[in-house]
Amino acid sequence: MLPKAWDNGVMKNRKPLMAANWKMNLSLDEAGDLLNRVKKAEIDFNRVDVLVAPPFTSLQLAKKLLTGTSILIAAQNMHWEAKGAFTGEISPLMLKEVGCTHVILGHSERRTLFFETSEVVNGKVSAAIEAGLIPIVCIGETLEEREEERTLDIIRSQLNESLKTSCQQRSLPECVILAYEPVWSIGTGRTATSEQAQKVHLFVRRWLRENFDHDSGDTIRILYGGSVRPDNIRELMLQSGIDGALIGGASLRADSFLSIISFYES
Ligand code: PGA
């Protein structure tokens, strides 16, 4: 059965995913409280997948509280090596040990504040897949790039470089989720219009058809991220190319996160 919001003239057969990116927020107590609230909520997991990406220090707690539920756990970053002298880093296998099935990679805050290049992201994406984690690979343009009308060129080069060596054994939709996050809309309250987001999502699907097998463009999940809130999620989800959201600020409170998750009821 198609999710209700899909009946509205928008035909998608990809299951939506609502992913909470907590960034560097919440103490252990606050994390436990939020996780318990989300866990107790009535979520129709036939209609939507739900994922939380707490800081590393709360992953163990998330595993403890969420084991046996359908809520997925992700990390917000990782190193590409399995182990060794990499002070301050975390390996893919360590993330798996604490219950992660997914990992966010190439977030714009990592790219700009921690100088991660697409080449580094590419190495991490390959390592994640190799370890059996599903990377949520973020791409997006800055305000300056948008104003210079370079958005699609930037997206194309981020895709080319970040997915260069991915998924040689398996098809891309099985092993990667993409997230389009215009940098100018992250944490600014300025969401891309649904048309702006849709245009980029359709461009990414076309790129996938041309660079991977034809089905990838139709079956891969592409999330939108950047100032997603309860009052704009429905409009975004009505776009045929958008399959869910990567949510920062609004995922730190149970009421707003749960209201975004249940977008299909509105
Ligand atoms: P925001 O962050 O929802 O606070 O804009 C989104 C993100 O950075 O993933």
Residues 149-203 pLDDT 10s: 999 999 999 999 998 877 665 678 789 999 999 999 998 888 889 999 999 999 9
What integer pLDDT is reported at residue 1 of this predicted model?
37
**pLDDT value of residue 213:** 80
**Catalytic residue of the set 102, 107, 141, 201:** 107
Q: How far apart, in whole angstroms, are the C-alpha atoms of residue 87 and residue 234?
A: 43
Write out residues with Cβ below 6 Å of ligand 1: 21, 181, 186-187, 225-228, 246-250
Based on the residue annotation, tell me whether 102 is a catalytic residue of this protein.
no
- Cα(1) to ligand 1 centroid in Å equals 30
Q: Is 30 a catalytic residue?
A: no
Task: Give the closest residue (by CA) to ligand 1 atom 3.
Answer: 248
Global pTM? 0.94
CA dihedral 75, 262, 27, 72 (to 10 degrees): -30
Integer Cα distance of 78 and 124 in angstroms: 7
The runs of H, that is alpha helices, within 49-117 are: 59-66, 92-97, 108-113
Mean per-residue pLDDT of the chain: 93
Tell whether the model's pLDDT for residue 63 goes beyond 60.
yes
Q: Which atom of ligand 1 is nearest to the CA of 108?
A: 8
- For residue 188, the CA-to-ligand 1 centroid distance in Å is 9
Contacts of 210 by beta carbon, 8 Å cutoff, 6+ apart: none
Supply 199's token pair.
Answer: 């245009």
Count Cβ atoms below 10 Å from residue 102 Cβ, excluding itself. Answer: 21
Task: Given the residues 109, 116, 141, 181, select the one marked as catalytic.
Answer: 181
Distance 107 CA to ligand 1 centre (A): 10
Domains (range + CATH), the chain: 6-265 (3.20.20.70)
Cα dihedral sign for 73, 74, 76, 78?
positive
How many Å lie between the centroid of ligand 1 and the Cα of residue 216? 26
Q: What is the pLDDT of residues 211-258, one digit of tens each?
A: 888 788 899 999 999 999 999 999 999 999 999 999 999 999 999 999
Q: Given the CA of residue 227, which atom of ligand 1 is nearest to it?
A: 5
Ligand 1 center to 242 CA (angstroms): 16
* Residue pair 185/226 in contact by the 8 Å Cβ criterion: yes
Query: b/e for 162-181, b at 16 or more Cβ within 10 A?
Result: bbeebbeeeebbebbbbbbb
State the average pLDDT over residues 85-96.
Answer: 98
For ligand 1, atom 7, name the residue with the nearest CA. 248
> Would you say 35 and 52 are in contact if contact means Cβ atoms under 8 Å apart?
yes
Atom of ligand 1 nearest to the CA of 188: 5
Query: What is the C-alpha radius of gyration for the chain, rounded to an integer number of angstroms?
Result: 17
Q: What pLDDT is recorded for position 11? A: 58
